[in-house]
Amino acid sequence: MKIYLDGQFCSEADAKISVFDHGLLYGDGVFEGIRMYHNRVFKLREHIERLYWSAKAILLDIPMTQEEMIAATVETCRQNNLRDGYIRLVVTRGKGTLGLDPRKCPKASIIIIATTIQLYPEKTYAEGLTIVTVPTTRNIVNAVNPAIKSLNYLNNVLARIEANNAGVEEAILLNSDGFVAECTADNVFIVQKGKLYTPPLSSGALYGITRNTVLDVARELGIPSGEPSLSRYDLYIADEMFLTGTAAEMIPVVKVDGRVIGTGKPGPITAKLLAGFQARTRTDGEIIFA
């Protein structure tokens, strides 16, 4: 595996950062997870834009332009001879002192890892996930805003531990008002009487790129959609439910907190949206090998 680290490609063994990097010491940095499908980096421009928005929000200066970052990401896929797979892009505050003041970190570090991933077995996509809501609440927007894709994922890790303790693969986090925000690494959708709903961005959900894609596909298919506040009750009485995320893609949910969703099987509107999503992965994104 060849890893991009600060402008150079190196082996995994040589891809090292300082123990004084504030990404490690304080979770001070930002990241993206991106997919390649069929020789294209899916929605690369959108991911890079969001990375720079996250960096802007924490006043982190990324020492290259968005176009250069796009080129470096595509080149990392080429160096690893990958046409399908998963990219993890990390920008840390860089090496500093043991104090947390970011002014002591003169230069951000950029890491690009391109590899393969399968988050869930095929069976789970066919049969659907069982999930639970967990006690850990989504970060409030005026603390570390959950819209920032920061290296501070401890809130999400805690929720994932609670899912593990409950014997399930994902967790629904509610916001401090008690409404559904999202899962630990995915946005949430439900279908009710032919309409598609997902929590609003103000709920504390990430501005998900897969979420946006699914809303676009719904518009294209003429499926009405809305972004109202959703409570656990709304999930329990949904006809269909699924999660969206770059790594998980679109995954059906068939049980929440012991309540069977709809028929207990992935639903027909989920299937239509999935087909539309898969079609887009063939045509949308930067080409890797010309």
List active site positions: 149
Q: Which of 130, 210, 270, 281 binds ligand PXG (CB under 6 A)?
A: 210
CB of 139 to ligand PXG, least distance (A): 10
What would the x/- binding string for ligand PXG be over residues 18 to 37, using CB under 6 A? ---------------x----
Q: Which is nearer to ligand PXG, 107 or 282 (CB)?
A: 282
Greatest extent of the chain over all pairs of C-alpha atoms, in Å = 57
Cβ atoms of residues 228 and 197 within 8 Å:
yes
Query: If binding is defined by CB under 6 A, does position 51 make contact with ligand PXG?
Result: no
- Of 89-97, 162-170, 195-203, 246-254, the segment contacting ligand PXG by CB under 6 A is 246-254
Which is nearer to ligand PXG, 105 or 273 (by Cβ)? Answer: 273
The reply to whether 208 sits near ligand PXG by the rule CB under 6 A is: yes
Considering the complex, state which of residue 105 and residue 170 has its C-beta at the smaller distance from ligand PXG. 170
Radius of gyration of the chain (CA): 19
Amino acid at 33: G
**Do 129 and 171 contact (CB within 8 A), yes or no?**
no
For residues 175-194, which are near ligand PXG according to CB under 6 A?
182, 185-187
Question: For the window 102-141, what string marks contact with ligand PXG as x by the rule CB under 6 A?
Answer: -----------------x----------------------
Rule CB under 6 A: say whether 240 interacts with ligand PXG: no
Q: Please give the full DSSP string across 60-86, using - where no structure is assigned.
A: ---SS-HHHHHHHHHHHHHHTT-SSEE
Stretch binding ligand PXG (CB under 6 A), from 17-25, 160-168, 207-215, 266-274:
207-215
Q: Using CB under 6 A, which of 37, 92, 211, 281 touches ligand PXG?
A: 211
Q: Does 246 bind ligand PXG (CB under 6 A)?
A: yes
The number of beta carbons lying within 10 Å of the beta carbon of residue 271 is: 14
Closest approach of Cβ 250 to ligand PXG, in Å?
10
- Phi and psi at residue 31, in whole multiples of 5°? -150, 170
Any contact of residue 54 with ligand PXG (CB under 6 A)? no
Nearest in space to 275 (alpha carbons), one of 220, 199, 231: 220
Question: Does residue number 89 form part of the binding site for ligand PXG (CB under 6 A)?
Answer: no
Q: Which of 124, 125, 131, 136 is nearest to 238 (CA)?
A: 131
User: Which chain residues interact with ligand PXG by CB under 6 A?
Assistant: 33, 119, 156, 182, 185-187, 206, 208-211, 244-248
